[in-house]
């Protein structure tokens, strides 16, 4: 019988993730599997913690990748840091803010949502006012809103909660590895990300980092975490300490891939990587403008790695994506929720963010439009 894997053709992944993967990371994925308690594997685990700390600019000890995709990171931080009845404020200007509200609500939190127009950033003044009105146990925001291409002012929001006991949670799924994150300086207590965006590793792991204040909240819970698989108070015993107590079998080969992906970023230098993202983004925006296409987001708030472009009137949104994929082996993303059919989402994430990819895409788009 036909082996479907033989028919896989390489696609230039310019959607909202997964992004292109480098040959070094592919090679890492197929290194020989070690046991999850093998001392040599533990060395690799320790190295990954250090790499993540470096990239996040944090000294948080509890900085580890969880065994699930980015969405598992979201689930994990809420289920560990929220108890039923806790007051949580969610800043929402896209699908992923909406998802945070859904996750927190399911866990029994009392959730208030401050909503901002999709395609615009969170307004810091509005947040400030809300924090004066009510006391919250947690404030949560998405750094890079993948559904709209908007950069939220994570550092400025952090200043508002820096001196308060309110925990500050940030979704860094799309931002990590593409723009700077300074977790400690920005007063972020809890952060999660995913591997398949600017880290350019296939999907399957969720890096998280918790500040000492977040760890304290976790340790002082009244009730056990109602999710055994993602219980950080147990998982930490595997990732830290002498005993390395077995919790669940870590995804060994995925962790090889993450180690290699982080290595590539740190070797190139994070600043150089961020600059490469910016330059590719600028080249893309100019090219799109030349084709008469309009960006959804105003210039100061645009993400370099996720570009939301308005679909011109009369153009078949899905048809264009299909032609790009079939005829040019290029994937771009559709709009989500209220933006479905109205925008395309063009990703320039990690290994994808290279000038020749931008040029190849613009050529294909010109021929297709």
Near a second copy in 201-260, by CB under 8 A:
202-204, 224-230, 246-254, 256-257, 259-260
Shortest reach from residue 334's CB to a second copy, in Å: 8
Taking the complex as a whole, the smallest distance from the CB of residue 317 to a second copy amounts, in Å, to: 14
Minimum CB distance to a second copy smaller for 128 or for 228:
228
Of 44 and 124, nearer to a second copy (C-beta) is 44
State which of positions 342-361 bind a second copy (CB under 8 A).
none
> Per rule CB under 8 A, is residue 35 in the interface with a second copy?
yes
Give 16 or 119: the residue with its C-beta nearer to a second copy. Answer: 16
Minimum CB separation of residue 182 from a second copy in Å reads 23
Contact 88, 82 (CB under 8 A): yes
Beta carbon nearer to a second copy, 24 or 216: 24
Indicate the residue among 160 and 260 with the shorter CB distance to a second copy: 260
* Tokens 């809103």 found at: 145
Which of 21, 138 has the CB closer to a second copy? 21
Virtual CA dihedral for 178, 184, 186, 188, nearest 10 degrees? 90
CB nearer a second copy, residue 69 or residue 93: 69
Report the C-alpha gap between 321 and 365 in whole angstroms: 10
What residues between 38 and 57 interact with a second copy by CB under 8 A? 38, 40, 43-44, 47
| Shortest separation between residue 221's beta carbon and a second copy, angstroms | 12
Contact letters for a second copy, residues 83-102 (x by CB under 8 A): ----------------x--x
Residue 18 · residue 70 · CB < 8 Å: no
Is residue 282 at the binding interface for a second copy, with CB under 8 A as the rule?
no
CA 172 to chain centre: 4
Q: Closest separation between CB of residue 3 and a second copy, Å? A: 7
Closest of 192, 184, 71, 109 to residue 143, by C-alpha? 192
Q: Which of 184, 325, 359, 362 binds a second copy (CB under 8 A)?
A: 325
CB of 185 or CB of 233, closer to a second copy: 233
**Site for a second copy contains 69 (CB under 8 A):** yes
Q: How far is the CB of 318 from a second copy (least distance, A)?
A: 11
Give the 3-state DSSP-derived string for the chain, with helices as H, strands as E and coil as C.
CCCHHHHCCCCEEECCCCCCCCHHHHHHHCCCCCCCCCHHHHHHHHHHHHHHHHHHCCCCCEEEEECCCHHHHHHHHHHHHCCCCCEEEEEECCHHHHHHHHHHHHCCCEEEEEECCCCCCCCHHHHHHHHHHCCCCEEEEECEECCCCEECCHHHHHHHHCCCCCEEEEECCCCECCECCCCCCCCCCEEECCCCCCCCCCCCCEEEEECHHHHHHHHCCCCCCCCCCCCHHHHHHHHCCCCCCCCCCCCHHHHHHHHHHHHHHHHHCHHHHHHHHHHHHHHHHHHHHHCCCCECCCHHHECCCEEEEECCCCCCHHHHHHHHHHHHCEEEEECCHHHCCCEEEEECCHHHCCHHHHHHHHHHHHHHC
Q: How far is the CB of 53 from a second copy (least distance, A)?
A: 15
Distance CA 250, CA 235 (A): 10
* Residue 262 makes contact with a second copy by CB under 8 A: no
Least distance (Å) between residue 295 CB and a second copy: 22
* By CB under 8 A, residue 32 contacts a second copy: yes
Please identify, using beta-carbon distances, which residue of 60 and 174 lies nearer to a second copy. Answer: 174
Map the footprint of a second copy across residues 167-206, applying CB under 8 A: 194, 196, 202-204
Smallest separation, CB 125 to a second copy (Å): 31
Number of residues that bind a second copy (CB under 8 A): 74
Nearer to a second copy, 183 or 200 (CB): 200
Residue 47 Cβ, how far from a second copy at the closest point, in Å? Answer: 6
């Amino acid at each position: 019988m036909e082996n479907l894997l033989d028919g896989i053709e390489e696609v230039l992944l310019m959607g909202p993730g997964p992004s292109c993967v480098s040959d070094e990371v592919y090679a890492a994925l197929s290194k020989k599997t070690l046991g999850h308690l093998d001392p040599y594997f533990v060395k690799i685990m320790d190295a990954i913690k250090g790499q993540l700390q470096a990239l996040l600019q944090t000294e948080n000890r509890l900085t580890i990748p969880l065994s699930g995709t980015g969405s598992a990171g979201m689930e994990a931080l809420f289920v560990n840091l929220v108890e039923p009845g806790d007051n949580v404020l969610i800043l929402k200007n896209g699908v992923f803010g909406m998802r945070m509200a859904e996750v927190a609500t399911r866990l029994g939190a009392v959730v208030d949502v401050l909503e901002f127009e999709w395609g615009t950033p969170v307004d810091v003044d509005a947040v400030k006012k809300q924090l004066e009105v009510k006391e919250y146990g947690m404030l949560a925001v998405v750094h890079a809103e993948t559904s709209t291409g908007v950069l939220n002012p994570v550092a400025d929001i952090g200043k508002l909660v820096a001196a308060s006991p309110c925990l500050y949670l940030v979704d860094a799924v799309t931002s990590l590895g593409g723009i700077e994150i300074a977790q400690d300086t920005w007063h972020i207590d809890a952060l999660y990300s995913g591997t398949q965006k600017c880290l350019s590793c296939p999907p399957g792991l969720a890096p998280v980092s918790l500040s000492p204040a977040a760890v304290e909240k976790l340790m002082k819970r009244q009730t056990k975490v109602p999710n055994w698989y993602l219980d950080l108070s147990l998982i930490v015993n595997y990732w830290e300490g002498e005993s390395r107590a077995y919790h669940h079998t870590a995804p060994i080969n995925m962790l090889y891939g993450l180690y290699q992906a982080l290595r590539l970023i740190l070797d190139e230098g994070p600043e150089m990587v961020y600059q490469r993202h910016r330059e590719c983004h600028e080249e893309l925006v100019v090219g799109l403008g030349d084709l008469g296409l309009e960006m959804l987001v105003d210039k100061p708030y645009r993400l370099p790695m996720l570009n939301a472009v308005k679909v011109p009137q009369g153009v078949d949104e899905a048809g264009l994506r299909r032609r790009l994929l079939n005829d040019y082996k290029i994937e771009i993303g559709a709009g989500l929720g209220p933006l479905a059919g109205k925008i395309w989402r063009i990703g320039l994430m990690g290994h994808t963010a290279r000038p020749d990819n931008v040029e190849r895409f613009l050529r294909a788009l010109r021929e297709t439009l």
